[in-house]
Amino acid sequence: MGRITLAGVTKRFGETEVIPPLDLEIADGEFVVFVGPSGCGKSTLLRLIAGLEDVSSGQVSIDGRDMTEAPPAQRGLAMVFQSYALYPHMSVRANIAFPLRMAGMDKAEQARRVEAAAEVLNLTAYLDRRPGQLSGGQRQRVAIGRAIVREPAAFLFDEPLSNLDAALRVGMRLEISELHKRLATTMVYVTHDQVEAMTMADKIVVLQAGRIEQVGSPLDLYHRPQNRFVAGFIGSPRMNFIEGPEAARHGAHVIGIRPEHVVVSQTEGPWKGRVTVTEHLGSDTYYHVHDTGLAEALTVRAPGDGMAAPGDEVWLQPDMDRIHRFDANGARI
């Protein structure tokens, strides 16, 4: 079981309020991702749940029990840190067994659980090595192993993939998702990378300046962003925002259109501009279009065999059904 409830939780460091009153419900077995720009308080929020920071006010409960004052060890949560935080002087086996040893479990049961975890994580061959002799991905797996042997109520991940290179990151992303499928344990995952959030989450919590901007499934956030911040944060390349008369024509202060919802034409369309930069990704081509009179630059996503070259005049045909409208405060209309 791993139901986590935050009720009116706040956090202040001295005078600065990092997290204004915040309510959040995390259901048992859910994969929840906290995402937001750096400094948005997502890591702080995770540490509040873990008990590594004290809440300034409000209540943290796990499975219905009030854990606000409980020390980290009693909350039944396991955490994977950004730096992995492995114990460098212990072997991989001792690292993974450490929480069991602290819990006073008997040796045979410890060994059995460590072997099982190593099996799951493909670490069996490395059990007698020191963390210093492992690669980044292997260290990451040891950290996960140390978390899963305890069979915690929930896993907390604090930007676990940010120290890995791009190829490894994609692989580990998949492994963590598979692990979640297999264990069906609640996972709370913090990242600044919206791709990680979109690919892994059952539920995404978008944070900005300690406030929850929107909570929803990945596609929910993609299709129905509640405000301009979420619209701009979710999706890559970023959504284009257009202000002024064109927005007013749609009865909004700002309208947003995603790059993939605009078709490039070399003959006709409602908007006209000039291509300045093209980015070829093979499968897709991104055009940066200037001089449209709508916004400084519009990004457009076209098929990989797109014909337009820098300097070309192009016409843009937005999918009018997929235009997002926002009022002057940035809220969705």
Partner 1 sequence: MSTRSSRKAARLMLSPSVIVLLVWMIVPLAVTVWYSLLRYNLLRPERTGFIWFRNYTNFVASPAFLSSIVNTLILVVGVLVITVVLGILIALLIDRPIWGQGIVRILVISPFFIMPPVAALIWKNMFMNPTNGLFAEAAKFLGLPPFDFLGHAPLASITLMVAWQWLPFATLILLTALQSMSSEQIEAAEMDGANALNRFWFIVLPHLSRAITVVILIQTIFLLGVFAEILVTTNGGPGTASTTLTFLIYKEALLGFNAGTAAAGGVIAVILANIVAIFLMIAVGRNLDA
The residues that touch partner 1, with contacts defined as CB under 8 A, are 50, 52, 71-73, 77-79, 81-83, 85-90, 98-99, 102-103, 132, 146, 150
DSSP 227: B
Q: How far apart are the two ends of the chain, measured CA to CA in Å?
A: 39
Identity of residue 231: A
Closest distance to partner 1 from the beta carbon of 253 (Å) = 44
| Token pair for 264 | 């490039």
Which residue's CB is nearer to partner 1, number 96 or number 298? 96
| Token pair for 272 | 């006209």
Closest distance to partner 1 from the beta carbon of 204 (Å) = 24
Closest distance to partner 1 from the beta carbon of 73 (Å) = 4
- Maximum alpha-carbon separation in the chain: 76
Q: Count the Cβ atoms, other than its own, within 10 Å of residue 325.
A: 15
Closest distance to partner 1 from the beta carbon of 103 (Å) = 6
HSE of 31, CA atoms in CB hemisphere, 13 A: 20
Closest distance to partner 1 from the beta carbon of 68 (Å) = 17
Which residue's CB is nearer to partner 1, number 99 or number 225? 99
Query: Which candidate, 7, 10, 42, places its Cα nearest to that of 26?
Result: 7
Which residue's CB is nearer to partner 1, number 80 or number 127? 80
Q: How far apart are CA 17 and CA 136, in angstroms?
A: 35
Which residue's CB is nearer to partner 1, number 187 or number 234? 187
DSSP 4: E
Following DSSP, what letter does each residue of 167-199 receive, concatenated? HHHHHHHHHHHHHHHHH--EEEEEES-HHHHHH
Bridge partner residues of 9 (DSSP): 22
Whole-Å CA distances, 134 to 126, 147, 172, 239: 8, 18, 15, 40
Which residue's CB is nearer to partner 1, number 176 or number 239? 176
Closest distance to partner 1 from the beta carbon of 43 (Å) = 11
Which residue's CB is nearer to partner 1, number 7 or number 85? 85
| Token pair for 183 | 């264990």
Which residue's CB is nearer to partner 1, number 135 or number 217? 135
Closest distance to partner 1 from the beta carbon of 163 (Å) = 12
